[in-house]
Structure 1
C-alpha cells in the first residue's frame, strides 16, 4: 500500500495502461496522495477492479475508460471525460506499452516496429495535443512518460521497443520546451528491469544478473518516482529523465 498524504488533493490525474502492473501502481500512488483519477486501459474488467479498490481504500473519485491510445480520437475521449466528470485535468501519465519481442535485427522487419511507435510515441503525442488546453488550466500541470532504460542505452534486441522508447524520450524533451509557455512540466521515468509481466520467465535470470543491486525493481518503486514528479517537490524540474534501475547503467559497474 502506498504511503498516504494530501499533497495532490484537488488534482485530477489521467493514467494509461492502468489495469495492472506499473499503471495500477501509479494509480495507487497518486490516489494515496489525494488525487482523483481517470484510469484507462483496453482491459475494462481489470480496470474496473483497480478502480473499485482505489475507491474503497482511499476514498477517491475514480473514472474508468476503455481506451486504445492509438485511436485517432483517444485524446478527445479523455478530454471530454475530464471536462464532464471533473471539470479539470492536472496530471497525465503516459504508461501504456506493449511487450518486448526479444528479437534481433535479422528477425525484425521495419513494419514490426510501427506498433511500438504507435503505442509509445504517436498515441501519447496526439493525446497530449488534445489535453494541452485542460492541462494548461490545471494546478501545476504535469506530463509524465514511462520510458525505459533501453530508451537510454539499447541492448541489441527488441528493436521496436527500444527505438520507440528512445523516440519517446526525444519527444518528451521537445514537449518540455514548448509546453513551458503553459507552465506544463514534462518529464520521464526510465525503469530498468522491473518485476512485472514484461519480464518473461525465460529471461528472468539474465535480467537479474544485469542489475548491480542484485534484484529486480518493483512497480511501486517506479510509482513513487511518478508521484514525486507529480508533486510540488518537483516544481522546478522539466525535460528530465529519471532512471530507476538499481544501478544498471552506472559506468564500470
Structure 2
C-alpha cells in the first residue's frame, strides 16, 4: 500500500490583499496544498472571497485570524490549526503583512509612528515565528520568508533615499530577525525577499506622496518573482540572504 503524501502546508499573513492575495492565488493553483490564509478579519468580504479562488487537485484553503498588532493571535491560530484542522507541520510561512505609509525624515517623524510600525513590521513577524517554529521544524524543506524592502538596507541606504525612517527602521529590524532565524535554526531556510515597489494600495499611496502616478512594479510580476524564489529556495543558496527583484542590486545587499 502506498503511503499518501501529506499536502504542502503554506501559511501567508495578509493573504486577502495585494501581494499576499496574489501569492495565495498561486499556491492555491498547486496540487495537494493546504493554504492557510492569515488575515486581520476573517469575516471581511476580501477574506471570504479567498474560498472562491481556483484550486488545484486536492488543494484546500483555511482562513485564520492573525493581526500583527496582537501578541497572541499567531499562537491562537496555531492551536486552531492543530486542534480543528489536524495540521501539525508547516512547510512555508510567508510574513507578508505589514504597514509602511508613514512619511518623514528624522527631523519630522513622530516617535509614536515609529513605535507603531515596529509593532507591526518587527514584533508581528517575531510573534509569528515564535508561534510557527515547532510546526516549521516538522515541515518538509521548511521556509520562513519575510517580505522586505531595500528601504531597510543599511549598507545600501544611499540607493533608496526616500524619507521613510519609520518604515525603514522597522523593516531593518525585521531583516535582522530573519537572518537571525537563519543563524539560530540550521534546519530552516530563512530569507528576505524584496518584491519591488509594487502597485498595491500601500505602494501606490507612497508613489503619489512622492509625485509619481503609481508604483513601478505590477503586483503579478512581483508575485511571480516571490513565488519562484520561495519554490526554489535552499539552505545553501538562499537562506540568510536578501533576495531582490531589482537586477541592478547585489543578491545579498543588506
Separation (CA, whole Å) in 2 of partners of 1:65 and 1:89: 14
8 Å Cα contact 2:13-2:39 kept in structure 1? yes
Can you give the 5+ residue segments of structure 1 that lack an aligned partner in the other structure? 1-7, 209-214
Deviation, 1:140, is 0.8
Question: Match of 1:80?
Answer: 79
Deviates more, 1:18-27 or 1:86-95: 86-95
Taking structure 1 as reference, are residues 31 and 17 closer, same or farther at Cα in structure 2, changes over 3 Å only? same
Question: Match of 2:60?
Answer: 61
Separation (CA, whole Å) in 2 of partners of 1:196 and 1:207: 13
Q: How does 1:1-253 map to 2 (within 5 A)?
A: 10-34=7-31, 35-44=33-42, 45=44, 46-55=46-55, 60-84=59-83, 85=85, 86-152=87-153, 153=157, 154-180=160-186, 183-198=187-202, 199-200=204-205, 202-203=208-209, 206=212, 216-232=216-232, 234=234, 236=236, 237-245=238-246, 247=248
Deviation, 1:207, is 7.8
8 Å Cα contact 2:39-2:65 kept in structure 1? yes
Superposed CA offset, 1:4-40 (max 9, x none): xxxx982101111111110101111222233311101
Question: Relative contact order (alpha carbons < 8 A, sep ≥ 6): 1 or 2 greater?
Answer: 1
Superposed CA offset, 1:134-174 (max 9, x none): 11011111000001121123424122111111111111111
Superposed CA offset, 1:84-142 (max 9, x none): 31332111100001132222323212221011111111111122012111110111110
Taking structure 1 as reference, are residues 83 and 229 closer, same or farther at Cα in structure 2, changes over 3 Å only? farther
8 Å Cα contact 1:228-1:234 kept in structure 2? no
Can you give the 5+ residue segments of structure 2 that lack an aligned partner in the other structure? none
SS in 2 for 1:107: coil
SS in 2 for 1:231: helix
Superposed CA offset, 1:184-241 (max 9, x none): 1001111321111112262475487xxxxxx821222332233234325535320011
8 Å Cα contact 1:192-1:248 kept in structure 2? no
Taking structure 1 as reference, are residues 54 and 43 closer, same or farther at Cα in structure 2, changes over 3 Å only? farther
Deviates more, 1:19-28 or 1:196-205: 196-205
With the length of structure 2 as denominator, give the TM-score of the two structures.
Answer: 0.82
More helix by share: 1
Query: How many equivalent pairs are there?
Result: 234
With the length of structure 1 as denominator, give the TM-score of the two structures.
Answer: 0.82
Separation (CA, whole Å) in 1 of partners of 2:219 and 2:235: 24
Separation (CA, whole Å) in 1 of partners of 2:49 and 2:95: 20
Question: Match of 1:212?
Answer: none
Deviation, 1:64, is 0.6
